Amino acid sequence: MSNYDVVILGGGPGGYNAAIRAGQLGLKAACVEGRATLGGTCLNVGCMPSKALLHASELYEAATGAEFANLGIEVKPTLNLGQMMKQKDESVAGLTKGIEFLFRKNKVDWIKGWGRIEGPGRVSASSDQGSRLELTAKNIIIATGSEPTPLPGVEIDNQRILDSTGALSLSEVPKHLVVIGAGVIGLELGSVWRRLGAQVTVVEYLDRICPGVDAEAGKTLQRSLSKQGIAFKLASKVTSATSSATGVQLSVEPAAGGTAESLEADYVLVAIGRRPYTQGLGLENVGLSTDKRGMLANRQHRTEAPGIWVIGDVTSGPMLAHKAEDEAMACVEQIVGKAGEVNYALIPNVIYTRPELASVGLTEEQLRAAGRAYKVGKFPFTANSRAKINHETEGFAKVIADERTDEVLGVHLVGPSVSEMIGEYCVAMEFSASAQDIALTCHPHPTRSEALRQAAMNVEGMATQM
């Protein structure tokens, strides 16, 4: 029996950050992870491999299409998909090893196995090889993450009908990829395979893509992706899928009901959301249960069971790596009696397509629904000199400020590298900045970040460059 101050179940961004912070604070910490490598969904089959393929496919498309030629670079690239996948896998392996290093550095024990809560303060860990270890812990943190939501009638076999993990490791470029769900995964992985040569059709139940993002930003992104060749079937539902060795036959109907049409694809990606993962966790042994969506509730990261905490995708809030990380820090700080807190109002959201979409804070739709008076400043990337020079002029920066106080309430960016720029507004908004604060802050020229300042200036109609 090994005794710990804190045992963490799951080694994803929630779990590994909690473990490392616990180690830093001098707690005796163990992280139980059953996967062969640390890093969870994010490092192994999520954020990182998807970004590796987005980066490589973006360069491939730039080289094959008119983009390089227009810059005066004449090349005739050929796709080596095997190498593209290999470099992705190598980068992922490097990252997961990095977490092992950080565990050693911070004296965290990685217990290899699947954790189960056996009772208050008691956890068992069973490895795939059949060994079993018992641990005691003053605190248990559940960080077991999420899994793809299944779609009845469209069974994922990861041969022809794929989840995101399958779509990150195909050994050939699909001729026709049908993506079910126009959310983040559908748009990112749909973009990857389109750039590599696939015809891509996205079937979405709602009448818009990316529900929840600012409607104007979502529309702009959809227009851009359509121009790139992605076909969208909105307000449509897939009612059945039959797969064979060579492809899949899908039946698609209007969401509201009506005549069905048939779609043929050689691969289908099901990306209709993710659901919390708590299988085999032994929640019943400490009187815990999940809600209808499989979610474990929390109050400031505490579950209803004393000494048991919960963070990341398995609990409420956006299913994002940086949200899991923030909760990990706040949870462990609370365990040691510090005042850890997460500001859920300011968790940024990014879609890593081209152009990218990045946002933080409230949307116009949310403000209208709340009856709150606001003003908007917008600035298009067509008027930004750096974006123009780089031939990347799609999109805009939009800043929404309170009508009376001028406090920035929401920022919505569609454009080049906006994922790297949204952090500026996260910091500003944490300090309750007004649009004028940003408008009066010097930004380097020539950079795309100037568009963010000009948008803030335009809240009072004083953008100088358009």
Residues binding ligand NAI (CB under 6 A): 151, 180-186, 188, 203-206, 211, 237-238, 271-274, 318-320, 350-352
For residue 206, the partner it binds in ligand NAI, ligand FAD, none, with Cβ less than 5 to 8 A by kind, is: ligand NAI
Strand partners, 31: 8, 110
**Of 315 and 454, which CB lies nearer to ligand NAI in the complex structure?**
315
What are the backbone dihedrals phi and psi of residue 288, each rounded to the nearest 5 degrees, phi first?
-100, 150
281 binds, among ligand NAI, ligand FAD, none (CB under 5 to 8 A by kind): ligand FAD
Q: Residues 98 to 137: which contact ligand FAD by CB under 6 A?
A: 114-115
Minimum CB distance to ligand FAD, residue 88 (Å): 12
- Least distance in Å: CB of 401 to ligand NAI? 25
348 binds ligand FAD (CB under 6 A): no
**∠ CA 365-370-372, rounded to 5°:** 95
DSSP for residue 87: H
Catalytic (active-site) positions? 445
Q: Is residue 274 within a helix (H) or strand (E), and if so which, with residue range?
A: strand 274-276
Within 223-337, strands assigned E span: 231-233, 236-243, 248-254, 261-265, 267-270, 274-276, 308-310
Residue 277 binds what, of ligand FAD, ligand NAI, none (CB under 5 to 8 Å, by partner type)?
Answer: ligand FAD
Reference 267, options 351, 213, 190, 371; nearest CA is: 190
Considering only CA atoms, which of 128, 58, 122, 53 is closest in space to residue 91? Answer: 53
Residue 439 CA to residue 292 CA, distance in Å, equals: 46
Q: Which of ligand FAD, ligand NAI, none has residue 143 at its interface (CB below 5 to 8 Å by kind)?
A: ligand FAD
Which residue's CB comes closest to ligand NAI? 183
Which residue, 12 or 181, is less far from ligand NAI as judged by CB?
181
Q: E strands, 120-160, where?
A: 122-126, 132-142, 146-148
Dmax (CA) for the chain in angstroms is: 68
* Residue 237 binds: one of ligand FAD, ligand NAI, none (C-beta under 5 to 8 A by kind): ligand NAI
- Give Cα 204 to chain centroid, integer Å: 18
33 binds, among ligand NAI, ligand FAD, none (CB under 5 to 8 A by kind): ligand FAD
Q: Are strands 122-126 and 114-119 parallel, antiparallel or unpaired?
A: antiparallel
- In the numeric block, which tokens belong to residue 409? 């309430």
Distance of alpha carbon 120 from alpha carbon 137, whole angstroms? 9
Q: Is 47 in the site for ligand FAD (CB under 6 A)?
A: yes
Query: What are the DSSP E strand ranges found in 339-382?
Result: 349-351, 356-361, 374-380
Instruction: Tell which positions 242-271 bind ligand FAD, by CB under 6 A.
Output: none
Question: Cβ closer to ligand NAI: 363 or 458?
Answer: 363
Q: Which of 30, 319, 332, 452 binds ligand FAD (CB under 6 A)?
A: 319
Residue 13 binding target from ligand FAD, ligand NAI, none, CB below 5 to 8 Å by type: ligand FAD
Per rule CB under 6 A, is residue 276 in the interface with ligand FAD?
no
412 vs 214: CA distance, rounded Å: 7
Q: Rule CB under 6 A: is residue 46 a binding residue for ligand FAD?
A: yes
Cα separation of the two ends of the chain? 68
Binding mask 2-41 for ligand FAD (x = CB under 6 A): -------xxxxxxx----------------xxxx----xx
Instruction: Establish if 224 lies at the interface with ligand FAD (CB under 6 A).
Output: no
Question: Within 10 A of 343 (CB to CB), how many other CB atoms are there?
Answer: 11
Do 410 and 362 touch, CB atoms closer than 8 A?
yes
Interacting residues toward ligand FAD by CB under 6 A? 9-15, 32-35, 40-42, 46-47, 50, 114-115, 143-146, 164, 185, 277, 280-281, 312-313, 319-322, 324
